Amino acid sequence: MISSKAGRREVLFGIAVALAVLCHVASCGRTDGNRVQGYVEGEFVYVASPLAGALESLRVRRGEQVKAGAALFALESASEKAVRDEAERRLAQARASLEDAKKGKRPSEIESIQAQLKQAQAASALSEIERARQERLARAGATPVQELDRAGSTNEQNRQRVAQLQADLKTAQLGSRSDQIAAAEANVRALEATLAKAEWDLAQKRQSAPQAGLVFDTLYREGEWVAAGRPVAVLLPPQNIKVRAFVPETRIGAIHPGDRVRVTVDGLPEPFVGTVSFISPQAEYTPPVIYSRESRSKLVFMIEAVFDPATAANLHPGQPVDVQFGS
């Protein structure tokens, strides 16, 4: 009898131990409903030149931190410099022509016209005196009528010559006509635009960092030919680093943009704090066709979380993380 009681006690003890083990395993197997798996993702900035050319100099190395405006690379630019220099000379020539058109004739040419005008005025005064003398002689009958007519014609020619030279002097002092000046001004503006385009082309052969960040990669070596639009340097600004995680369908309704998240990274004791910036409207890794109650639990939705630049600088694309929602 005693042995039977001892056997029952041993059986009950064994059952209790088994239940304790099962409870422990079950408690260990439970996961936090607010914690999901994720990874770090980066949105890269690909820096390229819109023009082709051989890579003349590469100013940065992979893994280097650069500031906004720092020089990244330069392509050979001999042809662009030649085009720019030619545009500068053509513009200088057009501006000089415009100023010349506005000034009129040169001072020595105006002085020549003024001297001719004085000669004509003197000749006109002398012919006026001769015409008056011939009129007096004609009234006295001392000269033929032909001499009077000749003196009058000469006097009229001299007066018209004076009027012509006065008009020439005025024209010489005015400069070119208004439509000629307008055409010269339009030519100057067109050449200014040509020079601006040439300077822009030359500037595009040298590229600088549009934002501060990490030089994630360099895709060409010095001396290699770079096609137009092909990126040479790949930048990763800290503000472009984010975490992607996949949340079960049963949990997605409780998450909203702006919610705080805590991201745990292997090897670091303290989590990083960020905010939910995006929730995908589409499910991923869906079961084949039927959305039954059982299959809905397998649906997951992608969410994205962003961080301040100082925090994001400690994260690396591809790094696995644990994401916990709530403060």
Q: pTM score, two decimals?
A: 0.63
| CA angle centred on 115, ends 109 and 118, rounded to 5° | 145
The predicted pLDDT at position 296 comes to 54
E strand or H helix at 53:
strand 53-58
pLDDT over threshold 70, residue 104: no
d(CA 92, CA 108) in angstroms, rounded, equals: 25
What one-character DSSP code corresponds to residue 258? T
Token code pair at residue 22: 């099962």
d(CA 83, CA 196): 11
Q: What's the pLDDT at 22?
A: 40
- The model's pLDDT over 237-291, given as tens digits with 9 standing for 90+, comes to 999 999 988 888 888 888 999 999 999 888 888 899 999 999 988 887 654 444 4
- Strand order of the sheet with strand 225-226? 206-208, 71-75, 53-58, 225-226
* Domains 30-43+237-325 and 45-76+207-236 belong to one CATH topology: no
CATH of domain 30-43+237-325: 2.40.30.170
Q: Which residue has the higher pLDDT, 128 or 29?
A: 128
DSSP classification of residue 136: H
What is the pLDDT of the chain when averaged over all its residues? 82
- Does domain 45-76+207-236 fall under CATH 3.40.50.300? My reply is no
Q: Where are the domains of the chain?
A: 30-43+237-325, 45-76+207-236, 83-200
Identify which of 181-190, 198-207, 281-290 has the greatest average pLDDT.
198-207
- d(CA 259, CA 327) in angstroms, rounded, equals 8
